[in-house]
Structure 1
Amino acid sequence: MALSETNDGRAVHLHRDRHPGADPVLLVHGFATTGALTWEATGWVEALAAGGRGALVPDLRGHGRSDKPHDPAAYSPDLLAADLLAMLDEEGLAAVDVIAYSMGSWVALALARLAPDRVRRLVVGGIGTVEQFGRWGVSAVQASVRGDVVMPEAESPIAPLVASLRRAPDVDREALAACVAGMATHPLPLGPTVPALLVAGDADPVAEDADVAAGILGAELVLLPRRNHVTALSARGFKQAALPFLGIPAAGSR
């Protein structure tokens, strides 16, 4: 369990799974899900292993088996990135390649900005230039998270933000509501950092201006045909773009 802190100095314990293999890739999940649900269930850990690489799969604070503060001040891209930095220190990893998705992409970008010497190459997915919690309304997203309203229909712009909520284990809805409020109050960490690749579905409203985000990041851009925010993550095309970018063979990626 990695040990970081909240703004008031309280310790935050971060759960992670380290999968066997050389030079582990750090995999950072998005909102209202877990590392295992995002990266193991979709074949990413398996694909990395087939390419001879290990994986380091944390649950971000507020999620899964990590600590879950209920204070919005405990959540920001920089704070969640500091958790990851503490975890890398505990794992004895001087520098890593990173793959991240959705809200996890903002955390990974914050990590690359805070400690560019610790991130060699960065793959981010499912983002554009807009912070989605603020865009669609913090109160509206929190109501969906808390179950105060019927879960949004698939066509709703809020639906991609809470798509994993029904399947994610160890859900603390108040912690997720605090995460929404905290993340929405901080500027997005967009800017050139390390060599980067941005992957997004061309039918993903969350990443509708992915081309603009890629330009700001100085990143390569890959758009996945007919994929939305949920289906892009498991797409073979995502792996076939991301793994070679990290110098990993992608043959046979499912």
Structure 2
Amino acid sequence: MPSFHNGAVEIAYLDEGEGDPITLVHGFASSKNVNWVYPTWVSDLKKAGRRVIALDNRGHGDSAKLYDAAQYEISIMADDVIALMDHLKIARADVMGYSLGSRMTAVLALKAPQRLRSAILGGIGIGLIEGGGPGENVAAALEAPSLEDVTDPVGRTFRAFADQTRSDRRALAACLRGSRRLMTREEAAAITGVPVLIAVGTADEIAGSATALGKIIPGAQVLDIPNRDHMRAVGDKVYKSGVIDFLSRRP
């Protein structure tokens, strides 16, 4: 698996297919494989004529594991995406995130709109601004001796997922604590330089309302993924077809 260094941090990535580039940014406790390869996003986007780039976020997958929460500030993590595009000499790309990856994508849409042809925010709604996703209960669950020691239901969900993906749970706890800064309503309203699609499962209790976020980001389109929660929306066919349609229509 290829990798590069952003400063001292090694970042693993994949780069497959030909055509207009799209960069995929996975969610918390996931990886490029779990989020994008196994649910066939990579193969489906390649079939749609796209060059697909996906990275393992720092602390995840095959990328470097860091244990200082300050190294996971959301803008630092977002910079890894730009550094990968620079490494591959890609001036502009569509960028699709999921959950934490969408927080990173939103930061890029605000701070570096010239590098994005569009921004697809999967698995995040008004939680981008309010609530903020997993909290200290999840960090504690990740640091618990075993899943059996975790009683918090949300904590159990993320701990079981981290165990399933064989993640470095200490690195994930640091990531969670470092990356929780919310975007302000004013910042979200200032995302005007790129077309935005917000895609959230209608049974997703983690992401928050897609419609509410869509009312704040000017011109944003909203894609409801019927009857899917945060974990099961990722590979849904409505999500995929909606994204491919959005990409085909964007400027």
Aligned to 1:174: 170
- Counterpart CA distance in 2 for 1:166 and 1:175 is 13
Aligned AA (1:121): S
- Counterpart CA distance in 2 for 1:68 and 1:223 is 34
Per-residue deviation, residues 154-173 of structure 1 (Å, max 9, x unmatched): x934455456313324x211
Q: TM-score, normalised by structure 1?
A: 0.86
Aligned AA (2:59): G
Give the direction of change, closer, same or farther, for the CA distance of 1:159–1:127 in structure 2 (3 Å limit): farther
Q: Is the 8 A contact 2:147 2:159 kept in 1?
A: no
Segments of 5+ residues of structure 2 without an aligned counterpart are: none
Identity fraction in percent: 33
Aligned AA (1:4): N
Per-residue deviation, residues 179-223 of structure 1 (Å, max 9, x unmatched): 011112x23263424200001111100123221112212311111
| Secondary structure of 2:126's aligned partner | coil
Aligned to 2:242: 241
Give the direction of change, closer, same or farther, for the CA distance of 1:104–1:44 in structure 2 (3 Å limit): same
Aligned AA (2:53): L
Residue 207 of structure 1 pairs with residue 204 of structure 2: no
Residue 187 of structure 1 pairs with residue 182 of structure 2: yes
Give the direction of change, closer, same or farther, for the CA distance of 1:137–1:148 in structure 2 (3 Å limit): farther
- Counterpart CA distance in 2 for 1:234 and 1:142 is 26
Aligned to 2:225: 224
- Counterpart CA distance in 2 for 1:160 and 1:63 is 17
Q: TM-score, normalised by structure 2?
A: 0.87
Give the direction of change, closer, same or farther, for the CA distance of 1:44–1:162 in structure 2 (3 Å limit): farther
Give the direction of change, closer, same or farther, for the CA distance of 1:118–1:162 in structure 2 (3 Å limit): farther
Per-residue deviation, residues 114-151 of structure 1 (Å, max 9, x unmatched): 2110001111111122368866631x111221234536
| Secondary structure of 1:213's aligned partner | helix
Give the direction of change, closer, same or farther, for the CA distance of 1:111–1:58 in structure 2 (3 Å limit): same
- Counterpart CA distance in 1 for 2:160 and 2:20 is 31
